[in-house]
Amino acid sequence: MIRAALPHPSRCPVAHKPCQIYLFKGSPTFRGISPESYLAIEKTIQKQFIHATIHACPREQVTPEKWNKKSILVLPGGTVSQWELDERSLSKWFKSRKGRIFAVCAGSYQCSYYSEYRVDENRTIEKTRKLALFPGVCTGPAFSHELRVVKVRWLPDQQEGYVAVIGGGVFIPKSIKKKMEYRPLAVFIDKPQEQSLTVVQCARGNGIGVLTTAHWEFNSEDIETIKLGFPDRRNEFEEMQRKLDLSADFRRTCMAKMLRLLEDSSLN
């Protein structure tokens, strides 16, 4: 397990070191990408990476061999089975050129050695992946295929708050291989310990990744369009929005810490 301490909160290299952010948007028609997640993450990284250039990056432009050394790939939520990313290219980027990835929900399935997603009682989508930043299984959904707001604990300081989850899974380590390390950062509180891990910091080769199965980027206003599709669940959605409002500062602080970790190239 990675033993490095988190960067001190006062250290914010992201605000001073210009970098290139490639925000993955799937196909030109956003096929496979959640528009709500994409837009919420875009809004978040615009605030955190104040000097960065943010590129809307369709699948055919995920070409890390052409990117500079300060590039970060951001994978939002969506349907990972529709992405068809070049995993060999991404794996090479990590091994030889210090790749950096921030992955949310579907992105975490994409970045795990093995992923499994239960579509229903009779069908599970399973896949072994070459990128394999997390050396184990990302299995889901942890709660439901539909939107839920659940409580999490940020492990470095033991703070707790609410986050949104839509089909996101949990990380279950299977084996730790040389140069394939991970550090747990957050857990779902209402899950058994062995099935609760929701945020990990990973190291592979010369690169690092921060993977989350929950949508820390979602605030109450970001789920408003989802809410409109479920008029019969209005009261339930309003309660979820209330919980998200209560934890807005908690999520903002944790998101800032996750993004800052991508600037730290040393995970020793």
The pLDDT tens digits for 36-85 are 999 999 999 888 888 888 999 998 899 999 998 889 999 999 998 888 88
pLDDT tens readout for residues 137-195: 999 999 999 999 999 999 999 999 999 999 999 999 886 554 458 999 999 999 998 89
Q: What are phi and psi of 234, to 5 degrees?
A: -55, -45
- What gap in Å lies between CA 137 and CA 118, rounded to an integer? 13
Cβ–Cβ under 8 Å, residues 169 and 246: no
Q: pLDDT: is 238 or 180 the higher one?
A: 238
Residue 23 region by backbone torsions, left for phi larger than 0, else alpha for psi between -120 and 50, else beta: beta
Check residue 175 and give its pLDDT. 62
With H, G, I as helix, E, B as strand and everything else as coil, classify residue 239. Answer: helix
Hey, which CATH number is domain 13-261, 3.20.20.100, 3.30.70.980, 3.40.640.10, 3.40.50.880?
A: 3.40.50.880
Check residue 181 and give its pLDDT. 82
Domain boundaries, the chain: 13-261
Q: pLDDT: is 48 or 4 the higher one?
A: 48
Q: pLDDT: is 12 or 80 the higher one?
A: 80
Quick one: average pLDDT of 234-257?
96
Is the pLDDT score of 104 beyond 90? yes
Mean pLDDT of the chain: 87
pTM for this prediction: 0.89
Residue 198 token pair? 């929701």
- What gap in Å lies between CA 223 and CA 104, rounded to an integer? 16
Check residue 250 and give its pLDDT. 97
Residue 209 token pair? 């990744």
Cβ–Cβ under 8 Å, residues 144 and 254: no
- Percent of the chain at pLDDT exceeding 90: 63
HSE of 211 in the Cβ direction (CA atoms, 13 Å)?
Answer: 35
Is the pLDDT score of 4 beyond 60? no
Q: pLDDT: is 122 or 179 the higher one?
A: 122
Cβ–Cβ under 8 Å, residues 175 and 136: yes
